[in-house]
């Protein structure tokens, strides 16, 4: 009687198993490369996460909140008054800050008696801002600052606890990374364009005023 071969023990039956293991490694490698190709450009050019640290934007944003930053919109449009932006700190670009845009390029921002006004440099006409996002935190700052054609004046909503343009000056356009797009965490605070605000008082844009 001829011996009966066991297909489970034959060299031929072992080869597909080995090839299957190699195939799995190749597929994992392909997936990792594909993930890098998609995720890295997405993080660099479209959106990136940001975790709020500090009380400068309270109560609008609290420490530990997880945001997704829109890095695309400002490639096609200019930052607007009331936008909540993330930017590189002008005095140390390795640090990222979150603040609200108050003054736009070409404008004069004036702070006095706890209120903020935008001044037309051509006529000296003052337009006060209706800052309803400020609960009770109005400070007694007194200053007037003229913005260049590429500068933005920013402040935190928690004025008494915020280090902002009042202390270290305007933010250059090139330092702005993007604006708050989605608040992911905590779940109860989930929202799109969190903290965005449209002022009720109509304001002119003085960006064409010569410096």
Q: What does DSSP say about strands 143-146 and 108-112: parallel, antiparallel, or unpaired?
A: antiparallel
CA separation (Å) from 32 to 38, 111, 156, 182, 204? 10, 52, 40, 27, 50
Query: Which distant-in-sequence residues (6+ apart) come within 8 Å of 41 by Cβ?
Result: none
Residue 101 pairs with which residues in a beta bridge?
154
Catalytic site residue from 10, 23, 56, 174:
56
Paired tokens of 57: 């934007």
For residue 156, pLDDT over 90 is answered with yes
User: Does 79 or 132 have the greater pLDDT score?
Assistant: 79
Instruction: Say whether 99 is catalytic.
Output: yes
Paired tokens of 150: 């590429």
User: Does 192 or 44 have the greater pLDDT score?
Assistant: 192
Catalytic site residue from 30, 99, 144, 163:
99
- In the CATH scheme, what is the code of domain 48-192? 2.10.109.10
Reported confidence tier of residue 161, pLDDT bands at 50, 70, 90: confident
- Which of 38-42, 58-62, 152-156, 207-211 shows the lowest per-residue confidence on average (mean pLDDT)? 207-211
- On whether the CB atoms of residues 100 and 157 are closer than 8 A, the answer is yes
pLDDT for 101: 96
Instruction: Say whether 30 is catalytic.
Output: no
Question: E strand or H helix at 70, and its extent?
Answer: strand 66-70
The three-point CA angle 81-182-105 to 5° equals 20
pLDDT in tens, 85-140: 999 999 999 999 999 999 999 999 999 888 899 988 788 888 888 888 887 666 77
């Amino acid at each position: 009687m001829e011996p009966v071969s066991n297909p489970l023990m034959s060299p031929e039956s072992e080869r597909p198993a080995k090839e299957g293991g190699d195939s799995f490694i190749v597929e994992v490698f392909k997936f990792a490369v594909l993930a890098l190709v998609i995720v890295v450009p997405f993080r660099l050019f479209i959106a990136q996460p940001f975790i709020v640290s500090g009380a400068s934007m309270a109560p609008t944003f609290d420490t530990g909140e997880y945001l997704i930053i829109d890095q695309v919109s400002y490639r096609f449009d200019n930052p607007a008054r009331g936008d909540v932006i993330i930017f590189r700190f002008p005095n140390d670009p390795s640090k990222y800050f979150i603040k609200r845009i108050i003054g736009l390029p070409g404008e004069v921002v004036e702070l006095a008696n706890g209120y903020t006004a935008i001044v037309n440099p051509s006529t000296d006409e003052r337009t006060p801002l209706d800052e309803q996002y400020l609960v009770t935190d109005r400070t007694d700052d007194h200053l007037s600052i003229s913005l260049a054609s590429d500068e933005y004046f920013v402040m935190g909503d928690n004025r008494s606890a915020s280090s902002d343009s009042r202390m270290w000056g305007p933010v250059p356009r090139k330092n702005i990374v993007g604006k708050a797009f989605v608040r992911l965490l905590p779940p109860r605070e989930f929202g799109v364009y969190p903290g965005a605000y449209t002022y009720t008082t109509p304001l002119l844009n003085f960006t064409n005023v010569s410096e």
